[in-house]
Amino acid sequence: MKKILSTIILLTVTLFAFNSQTYMNNNYCDKIIKNPYFQVCYDYKLMGARTITYTLNANKVNEVNIKKRPSFHTEKSLDRAYRVSPKSYSKTGYDRGHMANDASFDWSMKSLNSTYTMANIVPQHPKVNRYQWIKVERYARMVARKLGTLNIVNIIQYSHNPKRLKKQNIAIPKGFYKILFNKEKNFERCFYYKNTSSRYDKKDKLKKHLIECSLIQPNLLF
């Protein structure tokens, strides 16, 4: 991981200035959920998030590292008709995938608990959640410690007619974009992960998922 970090982080010339507000506004989102730690662009028809943004701070990332994990809970700021229950994922073959990941917010019980709202959770194949996505989350924390702060934008990609979990008709994502940027340090990196059930490749590397940030366009997310 350290070798990957040094290889990627030193390439600091940015050709594409990512604008997170393109994916976090009232035209793109049915409801924007805000808490002190992250923001969620929520879609009522999809019964899930389209975008989740937050900022990592170097002095917080490894401050406490609380080990005990709380329980998942419904998002009470949503109308009841659009609240997802943690039980809706049971026996579906999909993980409850964090977009604002718990390991980046385990410096207080309040911040940690906030990541267990179901508004922050989307269906992820176990292979992606447990072996691939976790690597880019770890990488983001390493970059945050090096740069001081790091902005994160997670964009969830859906097909035009997505498959759904039977309970509550929750849309299953097609894939996930993770954008990391710090404008002051002229740093920007973009990654893409397919939400696929194909066999896990132990040789899967971060650089395999690197993409040009300019490829991320709103019209390609459905």
pLDDT digits (tens, 9 = 90+) for 42-57: 999 999 999 999 999 9
Q: Is 129 annotated as a binding residue?
A: yes
Task: Write the DSSP string, 21-33.
Answer: GGGSSTTT-SEEE
CATH of the domain at 27: 3.40.570.10
pLDDT in tens, 20-37: 778 899 999 999 999 999
The per-residue DSSP string of 48-108 comes to EEEEEEEEEEHHHHTS---------B--TTS-GGGPPPGGGGTTSS-EEEESS-GGGSTTS
148: left (phi over 0), alpha (psi -120 to 50) or beta: left
Q: Which residues are catalytic?
A: 98
152 three-state secondary structure:
strand
> What is the pTM assigned to this prediction?
0.90
- Residue 10: inside a domain: yes
134 part of a folded domain? yes
Instruction: For residue 218, tell me if it sits in a domain.
Output: no
The count of structural domains within the chain is: 1
Asked if the structure places residue 119 within a domain, the reply is: yes
Return the bridge partners of 122, or none: 97
Does some domain include residue 219?
no
In a domain, 220, yes or no: no
What DSSP line would sit under 110-123, residue for residue? Answer: HHHHHTTBGGGEEE
Nearest to 173 by CA among 136, 133, 124, 121: 124
Burial per residue of 57-91, b for 16 or more beta-carbon CB atoms within 10 angstroms, e otherwise: ebebbeeeebeeeeebeebeebeeebbbeeebbee
- The H-or-E segment that residue 137 falls in is helix 133-147
Asked whether residue 221 is domain-assigned, the answer is no
- Tell me the average pLDDT across 106-114: 97
State the residue range of the domain holding 60. Answer: 2-213
- pLDDT band with cut points at 50, 70 and 90 for residue 12: very low
pLDDT of 3 > 90? The answer is no
Task: Tell whether the model's pLDDT for residue 61 goes beyond 60.
Answer: yes
Whether the per-residue pLDDT at 139 is higher than 60: the answer is yes
